[in-house]
Amino acid sequence: MGAVLGEASDPWCLRPGEAEELLRGHRWRRFVVLGDSVAEGMCEPVDGYPDLQWADRIAAELRAVQPELAYLNLGRRGLRAYEVRATQLAPALAYRPDLALVVCGGNDAFRSGYDPDAVDTELTVMVTALQDAGADVITVGMFDVSHSPAVPATLRAGLGERMRLLSTHTGRLAERLGTLHVHLTDHPAGPEPSMYSSDGRHGSARSDAIATAETLRVLDTRLGASADRG
């Protein structure tokens, strides 16, 4: 596609009024986020896109419909999946969420010794504990950061293979556990340079805007299947 001038003209982003319509009648009151830097928010600014990272924007859109929504983001950069589980699951459960976003494994996949089954085990523990506590859980197949121009050419193939393996495993886990799954890995905008930050590890404000749109559309599928939708 040609140059994108900002969110208003980006075909993959939310249209005016779309978020409100997608979330109309939602009943979520307590939203918690667990994860690494993707959860914490490390997006690089891009002209024409909100300087509001993905999880914060999801919370803002939820709160626009339900102003009393409580929100806690436990995400911290640099954590591997087992560290997210060890440091964030207990406080997440103590928060008594009815909606949770779990996003991790990227720091594991950046390592050549990445063990997808070990990451699956950690994700399964977190997802099932949150579900057992009554929360709807969002999982994510992340954008393939190997497309970033900042990733050295010699590392691109191996990183891409591991990122896609992580996405595949997470998708299968999501199907098995019944999560609300947001698959971004094969998004049409994924190969575009404007999606990534200059550090070669994170996304940009554009990728966060697109991820927000895709997440809200997945949440709408849960709302549309609910007889409680107002």
User: Are 72 and 7 in contact, with CB atoms under 8 Å apart?
Assistant: no
Ramachandran angles phi, psi of 140, nearest 5°: -140, 135
Domain ranges of the chain: 19-222
Indicate the pLDDT class of residue 117, thresholds 50, 70 and 90: very high
Give the pLDDT confidence score for residue 224 in this predicted structure: 80
- Residue 158's pLDDT is 95
In angstroms, rounded to a whole number, what is the distance separating the alpha carbons of residues 91 and 224?
30
Q: How far apart are CA 36 and CA 80, in angstroms?
A: 7
Query: So what's the pLDDT on residue 68?
Result: 97
Question: Rounded mean pLDDT of 94-110?
Answer: 97
Cα separation of 171 and 185, whole Å?
A: 10
Rounded Cα–Cα distance for residues 104 and 125 (Å): 13
Q: How far apart are CA 134 and CA 104, in angstroms?
A: 21
Residue 141 banded pLDDT, cuts 50, 70, 90: very high
Does the structure show a pLDDT above 70 at 154?
A: yes
Query: Is it the case that residue 142 has pLDDT exceeding 70?
Result: yes
> What ranges make up the beta strands (E) of the chain?
30-35, 70-73, 99-103, 136-141, 180-183
pLDDT of 222 > 80? The answer is yes
Helices and strands in the chain: count of H runs, count of E runs: 8, 5
Tell me if residue 31 falls in helix, strand or coil: strand
Label residue 148 left, alpha or beta by phi (over 0 means left) and psi (-120 to 50 means alpha).
beta
How many other C-beta atoms can be found within 10 angstroms of the C-beta atom of residue 72? 17
Residue 79 has pLDDT above 80, yes or no: yes
pLDDT for 43: 83
Q: pTM score, two decimals?
A: 0.94
The predicted pLDDT at position 225 comes to 66
Position 227 confidence tier, pLDDT thresholds 50, 70, 90:
very low
Kindly state the average pLDDT of the residues 142-170: 95
Domain 19-222 has CATH 3.40.50.1110: yes
Average pLDDT taken over every residue of the chain? 94
Residue 4 has a pLDDT of: 58
Res 199: pLDDT: 87
Contact 166, 106 (CB under 8 A): yes
Res 200: pLDDT: 81
Residue 163 has pLDDT above 90, yes or no: yes
Which token pair is 19? Answer: 């978020």
Q: pLDDT (tens digit, 9 = 90+) per residue, 198-207?
A: 988 889 999 9
Q: Is the pLDDT of residue 166 over 60?
A: yes
